Chains A and B, each alone.
Chain A
Amino acid sequence: MLPEHIREPLIQKIAAAEHPRELVVDVLLALQGHYGHLSDPAMEEAAGLLAMTPLELEELATFYTFLYREPVGRYVIHVCDSLICWMEGAERLGDHIGRRLGIAPGQTTADGLFTLLPVCCIGYCDRAPAILVNGRAHGPLTPESLDRLLEDLRAKAADGPAPGAGPERGTP
């Protein structure tokens, strides 16, 4: 169950909406932010909040890139592999991350810190090759600047709140 301070505002938002369904992605993202991913119980909880069926939510959770039905690490690293990043060395970058973390695309590190995923053009082609870390864009990256970024993330994880406290998002 969600803690009150997350659940209560959601219930109020849903009650205030003329069409509660329009909030479905927001609700799913909120649950994902809390639990880390959308487990079966989380899907049922979301369905209950929205008075929708779990199947209706499944249609969405399996459709959207940023909804995770499987466990992910504390930091989800999306490496853009669309045209411009691909031209500017996305492959080398992706390989480099994989080697540093010892995982292949689609996998999560054993310590639960990092998940590596490919993603389509993230709208930062002017900063290619670019990646997202928990939705926040970084680029242009070199193997060196990438190493620094990974180190920063590790350091932050060491003194930050426990995993599951929700991803930080946004790019200045």
Chain B
Amino acid sequence: MTYPRVLLQNRRPDRIATLEEYRASGGYEALAMVLGVGRTRREVAATLEAAVLLGRGGAAFPTGRKMMSVAEDAPFPRYVICNADEMEPGTFKDRVLIHADPHMLIEGIILAGYAVAATQGIVFIRPEYESAARILEREIGVARAAGYLGPRILGSDYALDIVVHRSGGRYICGEVTAQINALMGRRPNPQQPPPYPTEKGLWGRPTLTNNAETLACLPHIVRHGPEWFKKLSLTPGGAGTKLFCISGRVNRPGCVELPMGVPLREIIETHAGGMAGGGRFKACLPGGASTGFLPAAHYDIPMDLDSLRAVGNRLGTGAIMVFDQDCCLVAATRNLIEFFARESCGWCTPCREGLPYIRDLLTRLENGQGRGEDIPALRRLSRHLWKSYCAFAPGAAAPVESLLDHFADEVQAHITGGGCPFGPQPRTPGPPAAGGA
């Protein structure tokens, strides 16, 4: 099956698309249209709302609605932030996007900025993406020279500039409010709303934050209209395309752009070259480390928000991490919890204390020292994670809870058999279980 490519239409194997190449594909026409006909800020937001553009950063919040929550009479200056932190394990789409077509993202940021009357744009980027940061800095300069940025963009009275902000590197910096603290040179702990960042964000001013992939959709929606965007989806409930990152036990790991709603089976068998080594699909995490294990019974599920929600899972970032019959999901969960325990910002107790505890129980199970009572203990501790200060810890609970829901047999086999039924697994990073081997 081939499908229309939108976000990665100018992707080349070895280099970025230049400004000319982006323009030849219709680039910056949306901006010229919006500024030329003097489309109002509200009209831009309403177009995105009508297109059912939902945030691609993991939380799936409606983009148009978020823009409209910046009040007409809100104070200035206002900020627009492109979230390119992308630290969700399994996720690398923003990296691919920036390396493919930086001007698409730049135009998206300008359009988003226009929709909330922002005068300053910021790309927040993880330090591992230094080459992407340099590409953006250079191409922002190119865009400025061409009149797409700076004072009086394309001769209009709209002014915006964009800077690239390098993070020092921590997962929590991807969370909007923690990111705003990071940008202000504060320790990046989250800040529970209200006030919402769109009301009081960076330096106390209205701030719109969107994921890089979300922003890259804007030029296309503005140019082709909401109906076109909705029809890109294979399923009626979805809209647009999605950048799926496929990794793990497949033959061709990578990032592919596919219509929203494409079946999981097709993604794996057609677009990721099938299961590695002729293995059998056992489960995947459909949207990064903060989503639950999706068992093989759902191998044909359409990959969109509604379908995954209907089975108690989430599309998350669209990072599909694939496991075959030889992967031990207890060990995999143990690895994920090591990630979360390490990256916890430490601000609130359920997360800071709960995660090492869960890691400990999983390590014991994996080492064959587990006991029957560990399973209800894992349940209880996972529920405590939901009482945390930000969405980080509930995300960490997802793999644990889904492990208990869908792979109870596998967990039990570790207890009954006194060890891992899959044989020796790679040593898990992090400390050994307290009092254990």
A binds B: yes
Query: What residues make up the interface of A, taking CB atoms closer than 8 Å to B?
Result: 19, 21-26, 28-29, 50, 52, 56, 59-60, 63-67, 81-84, 86-87, 89-92, 118, 120-128, 132, 135-137, 169-172
B228 at the A/B interface (Cβ < 8 Å)? no
Name B128's closest neighbour in chain A (CB-CB): A122
Tell me whether A19 and B134 are in contact in the complex, defined as CB-CB below 8 angstroms, given that A25-B168, A86-B429, A122-B128 are known contacts: no
B11 at the A/B interface (Cβ < 8 Å)? no
Name the contact of B426 in the complex, choosing from A86, A123, A171 (C-beta under 8 A): A86
Question: Do B86 and A28 touch (CB < 8 A)?
Answer: no
Bound: A83/B127 CA distance, A: 20
Name A27's closest neighbour in chain B (CB-CB): B185
Question: Do A25 and B339 touch (CB < 8 A)?
Answer: no
Q: With A66-B169, A86-B335, A87-B426 given, name 6 new contacts (CB 8 A).
A: A19-B184, A63-B168, A120-B87, A121-B339, A126-B92, A135-B127
Name the contact of B187 in the complex, choosing from A59, A81, A123, A125 (C-beta under 8 A): A59
Question: Do A60 and B185 touch (CB < 8 A)?
Answer: yes
Stretch of B32-40, B56-64, B246-254 at the chain-chain interface: B246-254
Question: Do A29 and B166 touch (CB < 8 A)?
Answer: yes
Question: Do B171 and A120 touch (CB < 8 A)?
Answer: yes
What residues of chain B lie closer than 8 Å to A171, measured between beta carbons? 128-131
Bound: A129/B184 CA distance, A: 34
Question: Do A120 and B130 touch (CB < 8 A)?
Answer: no
Question: Do B247 and A86 touch (CB < 8 A)?
Answer: no
What residues of chain A lie closer than 8 Å to B427, measured between beta carbons? 91
Bound: A87/B249 CA distance, A: 8
Question: Do B253 and A125 touch (CB < 8 A)?
Answer: yes
B95 at the A/B interface (Cβ < 8 Å)? yes
Question: Do B247 and A25 touch (CB < 8 A)?
Answer: no
Question: Do B87 and A170 touch (CB < 8 A)?
Answer: no
Q: Which of B90, B128, B169, B343 has the most CB of A within 10 A?
A: B128
Name the contact of B168 in the complex, choosing from A64, A118, A121, A170 (C-beta under 8 A): A64
What residues of chain A lie closer than 8 Å to B335, measured between beta carbons? 81-83, 86
What residues of chain B lie closer than 8 Å to A86, measured between beta carbons? 335, 426, 428-429
Bound: A118/B428 CA distance, A: 12
Name the contact of B170 in the complex, choosing from A24, A26, A65, A125 (C-beta under 8 A): A65
Residue interface bits B55-95, CB-to-A below 8 A is 1, else 0:
00000000000000000000000000000001111111001
Name A124's closest neighbour in chain B (CB-CB): B92
**Nearest Cβ on chain A to B84's Cβ, whole angstroms:** 10
**Nearest Cβ on chain A to B93's Cβ, whole angstroms:** 9
Question: Do A126 and B253 touch (CB < 8 A)?
Answer: yes
User: Quick one: which of B139-193 are within 8 Å of A by CB?
Assistant: 165-171, 182-188
Question: Do B184 and A21 touch (CB < 8 A)?
Answer: yes
Tell me whether A83 and B168 are in contact in the complex, defined as CB-CB below 8 angstroms, given that A25-B185, A91-B427, A125-B253 are known contacts: no
Residue interface bits B87-111, CB-to-A below 8 A is 1, else 0:
1111110010000000000000000
Question: Do A118 and B429 touch (CB < 8 A)?
Answer: yes
What residues of chain B lie closer than 8 Å to A135, measured between beta carbons? 127-128, 130
Name the contact of B131 in the complex, choosing from A59, A120, A127, A172 (C-beta under 8 A): A172
What residues of chain B lie closer than 8 Å to A136, measured between beta carbons? 130
Question: Do A87 and B248 touch (CB < 8 A)?
Answer: yes
What residues of chain B lie closer than 8 Å to A56, measured between beta carbons? 185
Name B165's closest neighbour in chain A (CB-CB): A22
**Nearest Cβ on chain B to A69's Cβ, whole angstroms:** 12
User: Quick one: which of B390-433 are within 8 Å of A by CB?
Assistant: 426-429
Name the contact of B245 in the complex, choosing from A26, A90, A122, A125 (C-beta under 8 A): A125
Tell me whether A90 and B89 are in contact in the complex, defined as CB-CB below 8 angstroms, given that A29-B168, A63-B168, A135-B127 are known contacts: no
What residues of chain B lie closer than 8 Å to A90, measured between beta carbons? 426
6 residue pairs A–B, Cβ–Cβ below 8 Å: A83-B332, A83-B335, A83-B339, A84-B248, A86-B429, A126-B253
B215 at the A/B interface (Cβ < 8 Å)? no
Bound: A122/B336 CA distance, A: 14
B255 at the A/B interface (Cβ < 8 Å)? yes
Question: Do A65 and B183 touch (CB < 8 A)?
Answer: no
**Nearest Cβ on chain A to B310's Cβ, whole angstroms:** 25
Residue interface bits B267-278, CB-to-A below 8 A is 1, else 0:
000000000000
Name the contact of B184 in the complex, choosing from A22, A26, A91, A120 (C-beta under 8 A): A22
Name the contact of A63 in the complex, choosing from B95, B170, B249, B253 (C-beta under 8 A): B170
What residues of chain A lie closer than 8 Å to B183, measured between beta carbons? 22
B321 at the A/B interface (Cβ < 8 Å)? yes
B342 at the A/B interface (Cβ < 8 Å)? yes
B327 at the A/B interface (Cβ < 8 Å)? yes
Bound: A169/B166 CA distance, A: 13
Bound: A170/B136 CA distance, A: 13
What residues of chain A lie closer than 8 Å to B86, measured between beta carbons? 123
B283 at the A/B interface (Cβ < 8 Å)? no
